[in-house]
């Protein structure tokens, strides 16, 4: 697989094919530098890979390209993933197999301009994060627990202040405690629903339970 605009250097093909014949299941080109790209775009790209690899069990190498050579087993495994919203880098990493890397430095585009706008890249990154991570559905649970803990601590503080120091219970702190507790319980309930949605979401993708690497 390679891009038709020749941003993927064809000169890497002999080296990639040699690694396939040496026993690799797939050989992937990986950019080690992003020359010719705006710095802000390169920074966001690195940030995306860090976030994705932090919150997902499917690890994607920073700088990995779709430019790769695969054997038949990898091709069949990729085709067995039938989900419609296809984040290709995630699929290639998810199927696994023996992967080798060929590093190269990106060269500045000589002709034409990229068709990927900032918002298209943003959508691509968001699709990748939601395709292989359900952390966004779990965030409300963590925030809900945090709000509940804060409200409990504030309630304890107000009670101790009343019993020990005899201070009258102020209306504003009490109101804040009630609002935090109610908000925390609501977010926690949404988080529980989110967990069920996450499990349903992963089931609907209908990914293969196992990928068979080799039959004896």
Rounded CA separation 124/186 (Å): 31
The reply to whether the predicted model has a pTM over 0.85 is no
Q: What is the distance in angstroms between the CA of the first residue and the CA of the last residue of the chain?
A: 29
pLDDT digits (tens, 9 = 90+) for 168-191: 656 666 777 777 778 777 777 887
Question: Pick the residue with more confidence: 122 or 70?
Answer: 70
Q: Which strands make up the sheet holding 99-105, listed edge to edge? A: 64-70, 26-33, 99-105
Cβ(96)–Cβ(20) below 8 Å: no
pLDDT in tens, 9-53: 788 888 888 888 888 888 888 887 766 666 777 777 778 888 777
What confidence category does residue 200 fall into, taking pLDDT thresholds of 50, 70 and 90?
Answer: confident
Q: How many CA atoms lie within 13 A of 164 on its CB side?
A: 6
The gap from C-alpha 128 to its chain's centroid, in whole angstroms, comes to: 6
Distance CA 79, CA 132 (A): 17
Which residue, 91, 105, 77, 115, is CA-closest to 9?
105
- Alpha-carbon gap, residue 67 to 201, rounded angstroms: 29
């Amino acid at each position: 697989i390679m891009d038709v605009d020749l941003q993927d250097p064809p000169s890497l093909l002999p080296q990639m094919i040699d690694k396939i014949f040496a026993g690799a299941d797939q050989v992937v080109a990986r950019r080690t530098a992003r020359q010719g790209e705006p710095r802000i775009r390169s920074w966001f790209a690195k940030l995306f890979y860090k976030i994705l690899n932090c919150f997902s069990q499917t690890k994607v190498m920073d700088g990995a390209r779709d430019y790769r050579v695969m054997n038949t087993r990898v091709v069949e495994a990729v085709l067995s993933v039938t989900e419609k919203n296809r984040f290709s880098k995630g699929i290639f990493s998810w199927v696994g197999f023996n992967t080798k890397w060929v590093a190269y430095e990106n060269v500045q585009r000589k002709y034409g301009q990229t068709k990927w706008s900032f918002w298209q890249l943003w959508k691509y990154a968001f699709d990748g994060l939601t395709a292989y991570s359900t952390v966004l559905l779990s965030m409300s649970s963590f925030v809900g627990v945090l709000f509940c803990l804060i409200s409990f601590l504030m309630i304890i503080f107000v009670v101790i202040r009343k019993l020990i120091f005899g201070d009258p219970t102020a209306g504003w702190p009490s109101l804040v405690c009630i609002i935090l507790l109610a908000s925390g319980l609501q977010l926690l309930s949404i988080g529980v629903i989110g967990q069920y949605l996450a499990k349903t979401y992963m089931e609907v993708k209908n990914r293969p339970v196992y990928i068979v690497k080799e039959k004896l």
